Amino acid sequence: MKTTFALTAFIMCTFMSHAQQEQQKQDLDTIVVASTRINLPFKENSRTINIISAEAIKNSAANNIADLLQQVAGIDVRRRGTAGSQADLYIRGGSFDQTLLLIDGVKMNDVQTGHHTMNAALPIEVIERIEIIKGPAARIFGQNAFNGAINIVTKKELNNTVSVKAETGSFGQLNAGVTIATDLENSSHIVHVDKMSSAGYRYNTDYDNSNFFVKSVFNKDKKAIEMIATFQERKFGANGFYARESGTDQYEETQNSLIAFSTQFKTENLTIKPRIYWKRNQDEYVYLRNDPTVYRNLHISNKIGAEVNGSYRSKAGITGFGIDMSEDFITSNNLGDRDRFMTTLFLEHKFKVLDDKLDITPGVAVTYFSDFDFYAFPGLDVGYKISDAVKAYGNIGYTYRIPTYTDLFYNDPSTAGNPDLEVEEAFAQEIGIKYFSPRFSGSVAIYNRDAQNLIDFIRPNTAETVYTATNITDVNTKGVEVDAAYNFKLNTFNQTLAVGYNFLEDDILNQNKELSRYSLNTLKHHFTTRLSTQLFKNVSHNIIYKHAQRTTGDSYNVWDASLVVNVKQLEFTVTASNIFNADYIEAGFVPMPPKNILFGMRYSLN
Cβ atoms of 520 and 508 within 8 Å: the answer is yes
220 burial via Cβ count (<10 Å: 0-12, 13-18, 19+) = middle
Distance CA 255, CA 98 (A): 22
Provide the pLDDT confidence category of residue 308 given band limits of 50, 70 and 90: very high
Secondary element (H or E) of residue 154: strand 148-154
Cα-Cα end-to-end distance for the chain: 50
Provide the pLDDT confidence category of residue 472 given band limits of 50, 70 and 90: confident
- pLDDT tens by residue, 566-599: 999 999 999 999 999 999 999 888 999 999 999 9
DSSP state of 97: G
Mean pLDDT (the chain, rounded): 89
- pLDDT tens by residue, 338-361: 999 999 999 999 999 999 999 999
Lowest mean pLDDT: which of 99-113, 468-482, 514-528? 514-528
pTM of the model: 0.91
pLDDT at 15: 38
pLDDT at 3: 42
- pLDDT tens by residue, 412-452: 888 999 999 999 999 999 999 999 988 999 999 999 999 99
For 94, 96, 300, 453, 583, the CA distances from 88, given in Å and listed in that order, are 11, 6, 19, 21, 20
pLDDT at 13: 40
606 burial via Cβ count (<10 Å: 0-12, 13-18, 19+) = exposed
Query: Given a cut of 70, is residue 57 above it in pLDDT?
Result: yes
Secondary element (H or E) of residue 17: helix 2-18
Q: What mean pLDDT do residues 407-413 have?
A: 93
Single-letter amino acid, residue 571: E
Distance CA 452, CA 484 (A): 33
DSSP string for residues in 535-561: EETTEEEEEEEEEEEETTS-EEEEEEE
Query: Given a cut of 50, is residue 389 above it in pLDDT?
Result: yes
Q: What mean pLDDT do residues 151-161 have?
A: 87
**Angle 557-559-564 (CA atoms, 0-180°, nearest 5)?**
165
pLDDT at 430: 96
Percent of the chain, pLDDT > 90?
69
Distance CA 452, CA 553 (A): 25
- pLDDT tens by residue, 177-222: 999 999 998 999 999 999 999 999 999 999 999 999 999 999 988 8
Q: What mean pLDDT do residues 28-50 have?
A: 74
Q: What mean pLDDT do residues 74-80 have?
A: 91
Q: What mean pLDDT do residues 309-334 have?
A: 95
Provide the pLDDT confidence category of residue 319 given band limits of 50, 70 and 90: very high
Q: What mean pLDDT do residues 256-267 have?
A: 96
Provide the pLDDT confidence category of residue 132 given band limits of 50, 70 and 90: very high
Secondary element (H or E) of residue 65: helix 65-69
Distance CA 126, CA 103 (A): 11
Query: Given a cut of 60, is residue 159 above it in pLDDT?
Result: yes
pLDDT at 30: 58
- Of 391, 522, 364, 528, nearest to 454 by C-alpha is 522
Q: Domain ranges for the chain, please list them.
A: 29-605
Q: Has domain 29-605 been given CATH number 2.40.170.20? A: yes
H helix and E strand count, the chain:
6, 34
Provide the pLDDT confidence category of residue 35 given band limits of 50, 70 and 90: low
pLDDT at 20: 35
- Hey, is 60 helix, strand or coil? coil
pLDDT at 62: 86
Cβ atoms of 46 and 33 within 8 Å: the answer is no
Query: Given a cut of 90, is residue 59 above it in pLDDT?
Result: no
Secondary element (H or E) of residue 27: helix 27-30
pLDDT at 29: 59
Cβ atoms of 110 and 301 within 8 Å: the answer is yes
